[in-house]
């Protein structure tokens, strides 16, 4: 019963192997285990480990790793000599097998200390199983079923599941991908790009990767965090939330404690996009974020305002800043993509314009770019403003352009629009037939 349960467990574990080749390698070991041939199972498990490690080195060679290229070139040369019957190459082939664990740990960081120790146990037990050894009683070495099963499990978990890079090499490879202008800015696509590299990474690697992304991010010469870095952080959270979330919180707090004011915009834009980062800030750090949002240069803050408006916890201070913006600052905000949240402020400024220059500037730079957000009530407020707010809109070019847009977009009915124009000093903008025919004054 135990063996049957173990077999089911191992069969499921095989499905987690990174490649089909790795699955094929280890299935033969499981078949031997199923038949009760535990020595054969351990020998084949070691063979699976060696073949998979060689495949990983080949992948690194194909990706441009010069050390991997040298290792594979030497290995392939040895195989070619053996294929020609050159038995003098046999010692070199055996040496390669004996040293492969040290090679992949030292040169490529594919194994950490624990993984290395587990693979060494498989190698030593393989030697005991493959060579005519005897125990103290004179019998042959007989490994237990549990030992064979443990070796299969460890081979899959520590080698066959793993990508061809780990440790610092994996972190540097991800960092190199992020530096590419073609790395996706969408987190779902970023997840697809990173999963083959870090899908089964251990917490230590995830911690190192989070640190690398965050601290590299604040070094860039830009007003806000690179989209690729944000997508990568979101992808890492999706793949390894248990490890990544607390690390993002703790590292964000450290960044806010040390970051200079000239790099604060980058840190703030990251916090606005990663909720877990905001949760890592204490009250004084959150106050610093909000103070920057309220007082920072609009060139940097405009993008941050847009991000903050999308986060319920940050929306209120963002709206407070918008209410204080002047006309030139509002233009920057419009360029950042903010629309509906500023339309009330823009309408208020336009309907209180006290000269034609101001009216023309506000109309061309603020009102007309937001014409699709102008409601009928907004239009009424603006048209009534000469009589109700003493604005100086009549006879300005900006007012004429606005009225033409209202008419063209059918924001108000022709009947209501013409009545409002006649009642509030815009009768010079009435169509000719309306000028001649007249209309009732609206209440």
Q: How confident is the model at residue 435 (pLDDT cuts 50, 70, 90)?
A: low
Find the mean pLDDT for residues 61-83: 89
Which of 279, 272, 278, 204 has the alpha carbon at shortest distance from 244? 204
Phi, psi (degrees; rounded to nearest 5) at 140? -75, 160
pLDDT of residue 4: 43
Query: Which pLDDT score, from 0 to 100, does residue 3 have?
Result: 41
Residues 6+ apart with CB under 8 A from 440: 419
Mean pLDDT calculated for residue range 302-309? 95
CA 43/CA 431 separation, integer angstroms: 95
How many other CB atoms are there within 10 angstroms of residue 280's CB atom? 21
In the chain, the largest separation of any two C-alpha atoms, in whole Å, equals 123
Question: How much is the average pLDDT of 65-86?
Answer: 91
303 pLDDT exceeds 50? yes
Gap between the Cα atoms of 155 and 160, Å rounded: 6
Residue 167 pLDDT > 80, yes or no? Answer: no
Neighbouring C-beta atoms of residue 78, cutoff 10 Å: 19
Please list, in sequence order, all residues whose beta carbon lies within 8 angstroms of the beta carbon of residue 45, skipping any fewer than 6 positions away: 26, 29, 122, 126, 148, 151, 152, 155
- Categorise residue 65: left if φ over 0, alpha if ψ from -120 to 50, beta otherwise: beta
Which uninterrupted H or E stretch holds 441? none
What is residue 267's predicted lDDT score, i.e. its pLDDT? Answer: 95
Residue 2 in this model has a pLDDT that exceeds 70: no
If we measure between CA atoms, which residue out of 279, 281, 171, 273 comes closest to residue 227?
273
Q: Which of 175, 193, 197 is nearest to 184 (CA)?
A: 193
Residues whose CB is less than 8 angstroms from the CB of residue 180 and which lie 6 or more positions away in sequence, other chains included: 228
For residue 239, what are its two tokens?
């793949």
Indicate whether 193 pLDDT > 80: yes
Segment 4-16 shows an average pLDDT of: 72
The answer, as to whether pTM is greater than 0.75, is no
Supply the mean pLDDT for the chain.
Answer: 90
Q: Reply yes or no on whether the pLDDT at 46 is more than 90.
A: yes
Of 376, 352, 355, 350, residue with least CA distance to 365: 350
pLDDT: is 141 or 128 the higher one?
128
Q: How confident is the model at residue 7 (pLDDT cuts 50, 70, 90)?
A: low
318-372: pLDDT as tens digits: 999 999 999 999 999 999 999 999 999 999 999 999 999 999 999 999 999 999 9
pLDDT digit string, tens, across residues 307-333: 999 999 999 999 999 999 999 999 999
Q: Taking residues 242-266, what's their average pLDDT?
A: 94
pLDDT digits (tens, 9 = 90+) for 135-164: 555 567 889 999 999 999 999 999 998 888
| pLDDT over 70 (residue 439) | no
């Amino acid at each position: 019963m135990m063996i049957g349960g173990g077999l089911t467990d191992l069969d499921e574990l095989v499905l987690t192997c990174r490649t089909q080749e790795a699955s094929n390698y280890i299935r033969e070991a499981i078949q031997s285990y199923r038949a009760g041939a535990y020595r054969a199972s351990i020998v084949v498990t070691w063979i699976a480990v060696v073949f998979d490690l060689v495949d990983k080195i080949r992948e690194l060679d194909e990706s441009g790793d010069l050390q991997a290229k040298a290792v594979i070139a030497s290995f392939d040369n040895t195989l070619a000599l053996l294929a020609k019957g050159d038995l003098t190459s046999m010692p070199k082939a055996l040496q390669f097998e004996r040293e492969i664990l040290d090679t992949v740990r030292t040169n490529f960081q594919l194994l950490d200390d624990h993984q290395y120790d587990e693979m060494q146990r498989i190698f030593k037990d393989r030697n005991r199983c493959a060579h005519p050894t005897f125990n103290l009683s004179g019998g042959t070495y007989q490994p237990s079923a549990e030992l064979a099963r443990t070796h299969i499990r460890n081979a899959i978990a520590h080698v066959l599941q793993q990508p061809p890079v780990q440790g610092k090499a994996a972190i540097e490879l991800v960092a190199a991908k992020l530096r590419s202008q073609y790395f996706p800015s969408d987190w779902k696509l970023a997840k697809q790009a990173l999963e083959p590299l870090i899908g089964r990474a251990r917490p230590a690697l995830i911690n190192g990767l989070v640190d690398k992304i965050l601290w590299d991010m604040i070094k860039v010469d830009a007003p806000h965090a690179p989209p690729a870095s944000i997508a990568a952080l979101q992808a890492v959270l999706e793949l390894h939330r248990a490890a990544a979330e607390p690390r993002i919180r703790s590292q964000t707090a450290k960044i806010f404690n040390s970051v200079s004011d000239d790099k604060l915009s980058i840190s703030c834009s990251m916090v606005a996009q990663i909720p877990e980062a905001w949760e890592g800030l204490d009250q004084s750090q959150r106050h610093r974020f909000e103070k920057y949002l309220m007082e920072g240069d609009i060139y940097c803050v405009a993008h941050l305002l847009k991000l903050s408006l999308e986060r319920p916890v940050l929306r209120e201070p963002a709206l407070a800043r918008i209410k204080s913006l002047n006309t030139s600052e509002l233009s920057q905000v419009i360029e950042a993509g903010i629309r509906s949240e500023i339309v009330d402020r823009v309408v208020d400024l336009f309907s209180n314009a006290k000269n034609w220059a101001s009216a023309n500037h506000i109309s061309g730079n603020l009102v007309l770019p937001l014409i699709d957000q102008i409601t009928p009530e907004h239009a009424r407020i603006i048209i009534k403003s000469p009589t109700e707010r003493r604005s100086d809109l009549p006879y300005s070019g900006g007012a004429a352009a606005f009225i033409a847009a209202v008419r063209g977009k059918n924001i108000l009915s022709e009947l209501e629009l013409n009545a409002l124009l006649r009642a509030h000093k815009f009768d010079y903008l009435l169509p000719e037939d309306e000028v001649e025919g007249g209309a009732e004054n609206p209440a």
